């Protein structure tokens, strides 16, 4: 599954950024009494060094399972990137002084379409088309640049992340007062293991617009990685209280499950899956992940219909393999009870 979708999992990189790089990272503080948050709290080096290890091995399969979907979408996403890179290039533009409102609207729409439905090929194609139109009119708009970066990050290929970083750097340079430019720049930096820089970008985004939910949710993801349930709950709550669009629902659902998992609350994990399935009728990944959750709990007979439902929406290897395994395990389970 694409890293940057609303359902993205941080476990996919399995520590590829290395301990030395993350060793310079700083963790977030508790809430300050002011509008912005105090981000000066420091973890011990032992805690920091364990971040990547924890995020690569500590989560159950049903929270990591969506990654298996990425293989089936890679060819499509690569074609999207070819299209994207064919009409944009980072260069030495001068900072734009004016914003084309039509181009801005299309770029914003593209960003949130990529956020909302990373599993939907038609939606992603429409997003790229809007982005192409926006770029044709206003290639220097910060929203155009961060939307291009988001399309690149959707490919989930670490080798492409530096390319995305070029666009977010340019977005921050051209739009220093745009909170989402800073927030998404931080997201790209964090994915690249540049955590201290990411924290500063998130902090700046919050200073510019304390009501924007995404930087809070990006920070919550960091605390999910550290398995700090208390801080995860605080930042997730902040993000949810500022929710301004349903396009970020997938990100919120996933963080809720991460929190429930840290609390060893299987009932809350299952409730979150069911709520998301009810809200996102066309999402195959959440059905497959819920089936994996049921498998994890040896509820093979219940898992099978959800794998089948996922395959009706999208035929991909993770769901096919899961279905085959569920059927085999169910047969074994039934044979053992005879």
Contacts of 309 (CB under 8 A, 6+ apart): 284, 287
Candidates 3.90.1170.30, 1.25.40.10, 2.40.270.10, 3.40.640.10; CATH matching 10-282: 1.25.40.10
Q: 3-class SS at 7?
A: coil
Query: Are 319 and 290 spatial neighbours (Cβ–Cβ below 8 Å)?
Result: no
**Across 74-83, 220-229, 271-280, least confident range:** 74-83
Model confidence, pTM: 0.78
In contact, 69 and 1? CB cutoff 8 Å: yes
Tokens 């931080």 correspond to 186
Cβ(157)–Cβ(80) below 8 Å: no
Segment 200-217 mean pLDDT? 97
What residue has token string 């492409």? Answer: 160
Domain segments of the chain: what residues? 10-282
- Least confident span in 36-50, 102-116, 126-140: 36-50
Q: How far apart are alpha carbons 251 and 8 in whole angstroms?
A: 7
Tell me: the pLDDT tens digits for 46-69?
332 333 333 333 456 566 544 433
pLDDT at 177: 97
Span 149-198, pLDDT tens digits: 999 998 889 999 999 999 999 999 999 999 999 999 999 999 999 999 99
Report the chain's terminal Cα–Cα distance, integer Å: 40
Work out the pLDDT band at 78, boundaries 50, 70, 90.
low
Distances (CA, A) of 47 to 38, 178, 185: 19, 33, 25
Residue 63 pLDDT: 67
Band the pLDDT of 27: cuts 50, 70, 90.
Answer: very low
Alpha helices in the chain (DSSP H): 19-22, 45-49, 51-57, 61-64, 70-87, 101-116, 121-137, 142-153, 161-174, 179-191, 195-208, 214-226, 229-241, 249-262, 266-279, 284-296, 300-313, 317-336
| pLDDT band, very low/low/confident/very high, at 82 (cuts 50, 70, 90) | low
Average pLDDT over residues 108-124: 94
In this structure, what DSSP letter does residue 14 have?
T
**Which of 33-37, 152-156, 322-326 is modeled with the greatest confidence?**
322-326
What are the Cα distances from residue 330, in Å, to 207, 294, 304, 323, 327?
A: 53, 12, 9, 10, 5
What is d(CA 31, CA 297) in angstroms, rounded to the nearest whole number?
36
């Amino acid at each position: 599954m694409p890293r940057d979708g609303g359902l993205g999992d941080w476990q996919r990189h399995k520590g590829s950024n290395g301990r030395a790089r993350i060793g310079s990272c700083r963790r977030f503080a508790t809430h300050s009494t002011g509008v912005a948050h105090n981000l000066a709290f420091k973890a011990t080096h032992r805690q920091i060094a364990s971040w990547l290890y924890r995020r690569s091995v500590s989560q159950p399969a049903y929270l990591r399972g969506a990654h298996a979907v990425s293989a089936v979408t890679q060819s499509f996403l690569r074609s999207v990137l070819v299209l994207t890179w064919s009409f944009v290039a980072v260069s030495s533009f001068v900072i734009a002084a004016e914003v084309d409102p039509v181009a801005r609207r299309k770029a914003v729409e593209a960003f949130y379409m990529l956020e909302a439905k990373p599993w939907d090929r038609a939606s992603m194609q429409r997003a790229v088309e809007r982005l192409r139109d926006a770029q044709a009119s206003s290639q220097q708009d910060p929203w155009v640049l961060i939307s291009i970066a988001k399309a690149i990050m959707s490919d989930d290929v670490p080798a492409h992340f530096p390319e995305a970083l070029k666009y977010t750097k340019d977005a921050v340079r051209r739009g220093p007062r745009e909170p989402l430019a800073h927030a998404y720049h931080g997201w790209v930096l964090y994915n690249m293991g540049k955590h201290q820089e990411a924290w500063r970008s998130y902090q700046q985004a919050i200073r510019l617009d304390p009501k924007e939910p995404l930087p809070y949710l990006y920070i919550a993801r960091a605390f999910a990685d550290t398995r700090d349930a208390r801080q995860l709950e605080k930042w997730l709550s902040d993000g949810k209280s500022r929710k301004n669009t349903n396009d970020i629902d997938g990100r919120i659902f996933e963080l809720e499950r991460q929190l429930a998992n840290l609390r060893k609350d299987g009932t809350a994990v299952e409730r979150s899956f069911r709520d998301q399935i009810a809200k996102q009728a066309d999402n195959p990944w959440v059905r497959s992940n819920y089936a994996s959750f049921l498998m994890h709990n040896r509820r093979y007979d219940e898992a099978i219909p959800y794998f089948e439902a996922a395959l009706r929406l999208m035929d991909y290897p993770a769901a096919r393999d899961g279905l085959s395994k569920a059927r085999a395990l169910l047969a074994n389970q039934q044979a053992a009870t005879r």
